[in-house]
Amino acid sequence: MCNINDITIRNVRPEDLAQVAAVEAACFPAAEAADEKSLQERIRAFPESFLVAEKEGRLIGFINGAVTDQRTISDDMFEDVNLHNPKGAYQSIFGLDVAEEFRHQGVASRLMEAMIGRAREQGRKGLILTCKDRLIGYYQKFGYVNQGISASVHGGAVWYDMILEFEA
C-alpha cells in the first residue's frame, strides 16, 4: 500500500522520458497510447503542464496536456505539439496515467488536483479532457461536466468530452 504523503508531484524532466513511456504503454492499448517520440515532444513543448508523481525516485504516474483556446480536445492536438498555446484559456488533459500497483490509492487524484490548482494559478478558464464512459463519474467528482460523445476518434474508441469551468 502506498502512503500518499510519500509521493512528490513535480514537473516532468527530459530524463523522465523512459519511465513516462513505460507507464504510458502499460496504461493504454497500443492504438491509444502516445509513443515515446510523442511523449518526448510533449515534454519539450509543455513541461509546465506535464506533471509526474514520484515515490522514492520512481515515476509512478503522470498527467499531461497542451493548453488551448478550444473547449474540447480535437484529435490533431494529440499529434501536433505546435497547437499548444501557453496563453490559452483551457488546460487540456491528454492522459492521466498511474502504474498498476499504485492505482486506487489516491495518486491519480493528487495529480488531477495539482493540475487543476496549476490551471487556476495560471488564470485559465478551466480544463478539458476526453474519457471513456466508465470514467465519467470519476471526473465528475472533480467538477467536470459531461458534454456528450466527443468528435474525437483517437485510437478507434468512443470518447466523451468533459469540461471543468472555473467561476468567473
Q: How far apart are CA 127 and CA 119, in angstroms?
A: 7
- 126-131 sheet: strands from edge to edge: 67-68, 90-93, 126-131, 160-165, 145-149
CB 160 within 8 A of CB 130: yes
Q: Binning pLDDT at 50, 70 and 90, where does residue 2 land?
A: low
Average pLDDT of the chain, as a whole number: 94
pLDDT in tens, 8-63: 999 999 999 999 999 999 998 888 889 999 999 999 999 999 999 999 999 999 99
Show the domain range for 53. Answer: 4-165
Q: What is the CATH number of the domain that holds 23?
A: 3.40.630.30
Mean local confidence (pLDDT), 2-11: 84
**Number of domains making up the chain:** 1
Phi, psi (deg, nearest 5) at residue 98? -135, 130
